[in-house]
Amino acid sequence: MKNNGDIIEFLKKKEYVMLNNNLGEGSFGKTVLLNDPFIDEVFVAKKYEPDVDSEDEKKRFFKSFLDEIKIMYKLNHHNIVRIYNYYAYENILTGFILMEYIDGDRIDDWIEECSKGLKTTTSNDIFIQLIDAFDYLQQHGIIHRDIREGNILIDKNDVVKVIDFGIGKIIQPGENSDDSLYDEINRANSDTLPIEYYNGTYTSITDMFYLAELMNRLLNTSPCPEFKFQHIIDKMMAKKPEDRYASFGDIKKAIDQNAFSSLSVTDEEKRIYTNFANAIYSIIGEYTDSPTFNNDCNNIISKLNTVLSNNIFETYISNTTEVVSAFVNAGYTYNHSNILVEDVANFCEWLTNSNDNKKNIIIRNLINKISNKPVEKYDLPF
């Protein structure tokens, strides 16, 4: 019987079948394609094997390899590659990371095909997915630091996947990371360098610059006529960080504003949104901790439908906190305010029948409204 704190060892070996012994090779090792015959699933295995001679360099790069494992285990986002397992052999300074296999194209190849009219998904949607991924990274205190064509893939369903966090870092809010990567890709042309390059620092806003630089370069090479966010890219690429957006979250707001300018919204839809959003806003007094929000439209619709089924014979929602919890993941002080079942039903029906783009805009605007409530943290005894 093991006690709390005891070391648990799993000694059984797990066997994989090699499908492709060289998916790619770089300065830090190679990647291969494996099959797990027990579950019949395909994985990418990234082997850490740096092309360096110095023992000190091997140790330094091995620490980066371990840091990559720590970073990837913090991430769970549909636009970021998933890690499933790892094997670290500290005694010989090598190891493996077992990751999601992405069957798709590099972003430069995808945009080239898109410019020829060979894609049904637009470059706008790809850009929005990228911003969503990097907003998630920024919220989790992670900087990528190696934004280039080979590290952004797009799968067969046109889903963006950001990969390779080999030189990524976890940083605290407001912290800068030393940047000694002067010879890395996206830093060779002096016309595309941000001020941080000369200061030797790197933040999430530097990730913002290089993501915009990459998109701008690819779209100039292979123009996609329908792309409508060039003005956003231009601001992301400002030389000085203070001239860019303050965060990727602010870019998402700018995208929504751009979408609203061409979005057809009827007076009835405005009424449905206003009644529901104002009701949610009136219930929340102040947040008791820094809030996070649910922006998964399908999950929100499911939760609201559950609330409606529990209040089918009511005029007002009996437990209004169930409505708020469909959107808010935080504690808050409660204001006694009613929500009509009819207002919830109208909003849920409207959201359900909207297309994906409109759904995301509706939810982001509602979250933007309720995120403006104050945060008052309380010192509790335990």
Burial 205-216, CB ≥16 within 10 A → b, else e? bbbbbbbbbbbb
Residue pair 351/327 in contact by the 8 Å Cβ criterion: no
Is the per-residue pLDDT at 218 higher than 90?
yes
- Find the range with the poorest average confidence among 10-14, 195-199, 344-348: 10-14
pLDDT at 56: 83
Please name which of 74, 262, 252 lies closest in space to residue 170, comparing C-alpha atoms: 74
pLDDT tens track for 246-278? 999 999 988 877 766 666 788 899 999 999 999
Q: Could you give the C-alpha distances from 88 to 95, 232, 233, in angstroms and in order?
A: 4, 41, 39
Sign of CA dihedral 279, 308, 360, 151: positive
Describe the crossing of helices 123-139 and 248-261 by its angle, rounded to 10 degrees: 150
What is the pLDDT averaged over residues 185-192? 57
Mean pLDDT of the chain: 87
Tell me, what amino acid is at 201?
T
CATH of 17-100, one of 3.30.200.20, 3.40.190.10, 2.60.40.420, 3.30.70.360: 3.30.200.20
Instruction: Determine the CATH number of domain 104-261.
Output: 1.10.510.10
In the beta sheet, which residues pair with residue 201?
178
Q: How big is the chain, counted in residues?
A: 382
Q: Six-digit token pair at 103? A: 């069957």
| Stated pTM of the model | 0.70
pLDDT at 244: 97
pLDDT at 191: 64
What is the pLDDT averaged over residues 194-218? 91
Residue pair 117/144 in contact by the 8 Å Cβ criterion: no
pLDDT tens track for 93-140? 888 989 999 999 999 999 999 999 999 889 999 999 999 999 999 998
**Which of the pair, 381 or 164, is modelled with greater confidence?**
164
Please name which of 342, 310, 346 lies closest in space to residue 325, comparing C-alpha atoms: 310
% of the chain surpassing 90 pLDDT? 49
Place 174 in a pLDDT band, splitting at 50, 70 and 90: low
pLDDT tens track for 16-26? 999 998 887 76
Domain boundary assignment for the chain: 17-100, 104-261, 267-370
Is the per-residue pLDDT at 369 higher than 90?
no
pLDDT at 185: 43
First to last CA, the chain: 32
pLDDT tens track for 31-53? 899 999 988 999 999 888 877 77
Please name which of 236, 93, 99 lies closest in space to residue 164, comparing C-alpha atoms: 99
Place 179 in a pLDDT band, splitting at 50, 70 and 90: low
pLDDT at 373: 85
Place 211 in a pLDDT band, splitting at 50, 70 and 90: very high
pLDDT at 178: 59
- Find the range with the poorest average confidence among 220-224, 259-263, 283-287, 314-318: 259-263
Residue pair 129/79 in contact by the 8 Å Cβ criterion: yes
What is the pLDDT averaged over residues 158-170? 87
Sign of CA dihedral 142, 145, 151, 155: positive
pLDDT tens track for 70-79? 888 888 888 9
Phi, psi of 102 (to 5 degrees): -110, 110
